[in-house]
Amino acid sequence: MNCERAEPLLHAQLDGELELTASLEMERHLAECDACANRYRRLERLREELAAVGLDWSAETDLRPLRTAIRRDLHGARWPWRGALAVAATLVVAVFFGVRFSRPNDALPRQVIDDHVRSLLGDHLVDVPSSDRHTVKPWFQGKLGFSPPAPDLSDHGFELAGGRLDVIAGRPAAAIVYRRHNHVVNLLVSRAAGSGPEFTSLDGYNLEQWHSGGMTYWAASDLNAAELREFCDLVRARGN
Amino acid sequence: MDDRRRHFEESFWPHLRGAYNLARWLVGNPHDAEDVVQESFTRAFERAGGFRGGDPRTWLLAIVRNTAINFLQRKKPKAEVAWNERMAEPADGAPDPEKAMLRDSQRARVRAAVQRLPGEFREALVLRELEGMAYKEIAAVLDVPLGTVMSRLSRARHLLMEELLPEKEGGL
């Protein structure tokens, strides 16, 4: 091992992240090379300093009131009633303060994510529960002025769970619901003009938005960004 | 419902301290940290259906982190700047005997240096040095690749060494 290879790996050595052979090689190099050995000792000293001082705030904080408050929250959870109330309260607050808190483009992504969260509460995820696209797609006929896509994505692990009528930005919207493992994806389709960024992350939920054929599409989920992108690419590719 | 809550508490109570520490290092004061942790637990409970096996600590800390960042962005629209850039030295205001004493202590000096790190570096450092997490776990909490964890940790440490361990001081 030479210095050029060793230097970026000093941190990994310190953190015990090197595999055994690499770690042994590193030890040999540190025994031979003063410059790297010095760098390594500085890293060790920093670690000692941090440990001596202690980064642990909890050790000097009485967490009992916090624990009590959380426990009260959890015990008060009359699911889903309380959650729905919380979302309603959030919406009221958002209506009052939204303009001040958010950049103009934030309002719609916020609304779609709130909608996604609301759909997870209680039992109103779908109006028409079905894993068959030939059941879900016709169900929307006559209820909306358009026909939303409901492609079969089960070969990629996204199982169709059903459809639901929704409202986005005051316009009727179709919600097509998919599941991957325990994650729910809400695919919302509406004629409402979409504003806001292509990708938004709010409250731990990810939202991707795009336009196609005069419609706006949103996909909201707690899937990570890469998986959500995979989902959106599939929908874009397969359409109906 | 009770089973669900008991199961949730068994999985997540042990990580209350870790959650509090991370929140405290991210938002910078005890009051907001408590709010963030409380909100995170509620959110974790609501989403516990989405938690399947896996490591509860990683899962919870990812929620804490997102909640804290949302909180910072809500609090000041400019938080992105504060999050990504190194914070300025705290201004030396009017003499305050209590603050002066704190400032003198080594603990305050080191902690202030950590607190001034850009948020991305600070969170990686705290998860490694305080929570003792493996790179893989840190990558999961921060939702970034392993290489990014390594480079952020190394940047964090170099900034801290510059400030806390000047080379002239003994050359180590």
Q: Give the C-alpha separation, A63 to B34, whole Å.
A: 9
Whether residue B94 sits in one domain with residue B67: no
Number of domains in chain B: 2
Whether residue A117 sits in one domain with residue A13: no
Cα R_g (chain B), whole angstroms: 18
Round the average pLDDT of chain B to a whole number and report it.
Answer: 83
pLDDT single digits (tens) A205-231: 899 999 888 888 999 999 998 999 999
Whether residue A232 sits in one domain with residue A113: yes
Among A46, A53, A55, beta carbon nearest to B161: A46
Whether residue B95 sits in one domain with residue B47: no
Residue % of chain B over a pLDDT of 70:
77
Whether residue B141 sits in one domain with residue B97: yes
Global ipTM: 0.81
Whether residue B96 sits in one domain with residue B31: no
A chain contacts of residue B157, beta-carbon cutoff 8 Å: 11, 43, 46
Residue A135 lies in a domain: yes
Among the candidates B54, B69, B84, a domain finishes at: B84
Residue A88 lies in a domain: no
Whether residue A109 sits in one domain with residue A30: no
Q: In angstroms, what CA-CA distances link A70 with A19, A20, B35, B80, B154?
A: 41, 43, 10, 29, 36
Residue B138 sits in a domain whose CATH number is: 1.10.10.10
Task: Assess whether pLDDT exceeds 80 at residue B100.
Answer: no
Whether residue A44 sits in one domain with residue A137: no
Residue A78 lies in a domain: no
Q: What pLDDT, on a 0 to 100 scale, did the predictor assign at position A44?
A: 95
Q: What pLDDT, on a 0 to 100 scale, did the predictor assign at position B30?
A: 92
Whether residue A231 sits in one domain with residue A131: yes
pLDDT single digits (tens) B116-129: 999 999 999 999 99
Task: Assess whether pLDDT exceeds 50 at residue B172.
Answer: no
Whether residue B33 sits in one domain with residue B96: no
Residue A136 sits in a domain whose CATH number is: 3.30.200.100
Q: Is A156 exposed, middle or buried (0-12, 13-18, 19+ CB in 10 A)?
A: middle
- Of B107, B41, B30, residue with least CA distance to A61: B30
Contact check, Cβ <8 Å, A67/B16: yes
A79 part of contact set with chain B, CB < 8 Å: yes
The pLDDT-based confidence of B99 (bands split at 50, 70, 90) is: low
Contact B126, B119 (CB under 8 A): no
pLDDT single digits (tens) B12-52: 888 999 999 999 999 999 999 999 999 999 999 888 776 76
Whether residue A226 sits in one domain with residue A137: yes
Number of domains in chain A: 2
Contact check, Cβ <8 Å, A203/B43: yes
A22 part of contact set with chain B, CB < 8 Å: no
Whether residue B104 sits in one domain with residue B56: no
Whether residue B74 sits in one domain with residue B116: no
3-state secondary structure of B144: coil
The residue ranking higher by pLDDT, B75 or A94, is B75
Residues in chain B: 172
pTM confidence score = 0.55
Q: Which residues of chain A have pLDDT under 50?
A: 78-80, 97-105
Q: What pLDDT, on a 0 to 100 scale, did the predictor assign at position A71?
A: 86
Q: Give the C-alpha separation, B102 to B4, whole Å.
A: 45
Which range of residues forms the domain containing residue B63?
Answer: 1-84
What is the 3-state secondary structure of chain A? CCHHHHHHHHHHHHCCCCCHHHHHHHHHHHHHCHHHHHHHHHHHHHHHHHHHHCCCCHHHCCCHHHHHHHHHHHHCCCCCHHHHHHHHHHHHHHHHHHHHHCCHHHHHHHHHHHHHHHHHCCCCCCCEECCCHHHHHHHCECCECCCCCCCCEHHHCEEEEEEEEEEECCEEEEEEEEEECCEEEEEEEECCCCCCCCEEEECCEEEEEEEECCEEEEEEECCCHHHHHHHHHHHHHHCC
Whether residue B168 sits in one domain with residue B137: yes
Contact check, Cβ <8 Å, B150/A12: yes
Whether residue B154 sits in one domain with residue B141: yes
Which range of residues forms the domain containing residue A201?
Answer: 102-238
- What is the DSSP-derived secondary structure letter of residue B48? G
- Token pair 């994510």 is at which residue? A113
Residue A221 lies in a domain: yes
Residue A68 lies in a domain: no
Among the candidates B52, B84, B116, a domain finishes at: B84
Q: What pLDDT, on a 0 to 100 scale, did the predictor assign at position B116?
A: 94
Residue A233 lies in a domain: yes
Residue B37 sits in a domain whose CATH number is: 1.10.1740.10
Q: What pLDDT, on a 0 to 100 scale, did the predictor assign at position A218?
A: 93
Q: Give the C-alpha separation, A136 to B21, whole Å.
A: 47
Helices B106-116 and B146-164, axial angle in degrees (round to 10): 140
Residue A11 lies in a domain: yes
Whether residue B92 sits in one domain with residue B155: yes
Whether residue A227 sits in one domain with residue A170: yes
| Chain B, window 1-40: residues with a beta carbon less than 8 angstroms from a chain A beta carbon | 1, 5, 8-9, 16-17, 20-21, 24-25, 30, 33-34, 37-38
3-state secondary structure of B34: helix
Identify the closest residue of chain B to A97 by CA–CA distance. B74
The residue ranking higher by pLDDT, B169 or B32, is B32
- Residue A4: CB partners within 8 Å, gap ≥ 6? none
The pLDDT-based confidence of B150 (bands split at 50, 70, 90) is: very high
B chain contacts of residue A54, beta-carbon cutoff 8 Å: 107
Whether residue B79 sits in one domain with residue B8: yes
Q: What pLDDT, on a 0 to 100 scale, did the predictor assign at position B34?
A: 94
Among the candidates B49, B84, B119, a domain finishes at: B84
Q: Give the C-alpha separation, A165 to A145, whole Å.
A: 12
